């Protein structure tokens, strides 16, 4: 695999913004109140918009140095909504509909063979009572990526 996992996550963030399920600014600074979840990497920020989504890579298969097969990455997409659980369910559902079982070219030259959701996580709440929903996706890249 010649493409870094962080580059795949960045391409995923840009793709999610392109298909209209979230907003993305590479510097992670969002002004006003976005009408879609704001994308972050790493831990869910405690400040910022209520509606947010974090992207994290948590594994690669097969060996990341193998380029003669289909490299696969695992990503957690963790959604946050408001104190109304329907908001986070709706955001995660729109994300699922836009991503699950899709393929194609993502920004940055990332070629996706298929992305599938393999874990539909349960709701939880943060210390401010905003609902969270973690989902996990498998991203299979084209051979040689």
User: Can you read off the two tokens belonging to residue 33?
Assistant: 């109140």
pLDDT score of 138 more than 60: yes
pLDDT-derived band of residue 76, with 50, 70 and 90 as boundaries? very high
Average pLDDT, the chain: 91
Q: Can you list the alpha helix ranges (DSSP code H) found in 19-131?
A: 85-99
The structural domain count of the chain equals 1
For the stretch 7-53, pLDDT in tens is: 999 999 999 999 999 999 999 999 888 999 999 999 999 988 999 99
What is the pLDDT at residue 69? 66
Residue 20, domain extent = 5-141
Tell me what percent of the residues of the chain surpass a pLDDT of 70: 91
CATH number for the domain that contains residue 94: 3.30.2000.30
């Amino acid at each position: 695999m010649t493409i870094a996992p962080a580059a795949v996550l960045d391409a995923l963030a840009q793709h999610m913004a392109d298909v209209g399920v979230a907003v993305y600014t590479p510097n992670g600074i969002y002004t006003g109140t976005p009408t879609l979840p704001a994308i972050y990497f790493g831990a869910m920020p405690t400040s910022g918009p209520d509606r947010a989504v974090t992207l994290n890579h948590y594994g690669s298969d097969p060996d990341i140095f193998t380029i003669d097969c289909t490299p696969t990455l695992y990503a957690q997409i963790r959604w946050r909504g408001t104190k109304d659980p329907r908001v986070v369910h709706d955001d995660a559902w729109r994300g699922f509909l836009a991503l699950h079982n899709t393929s194609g070219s993502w920004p940055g030259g990332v070629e996706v063979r298929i992305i599938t959701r393999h874990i539909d996580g349960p709701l939880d709440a943060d210390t401010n009572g905003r609902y969270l929903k973690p989902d996990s996706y498998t991203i299979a890249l084209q051979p040689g990526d």
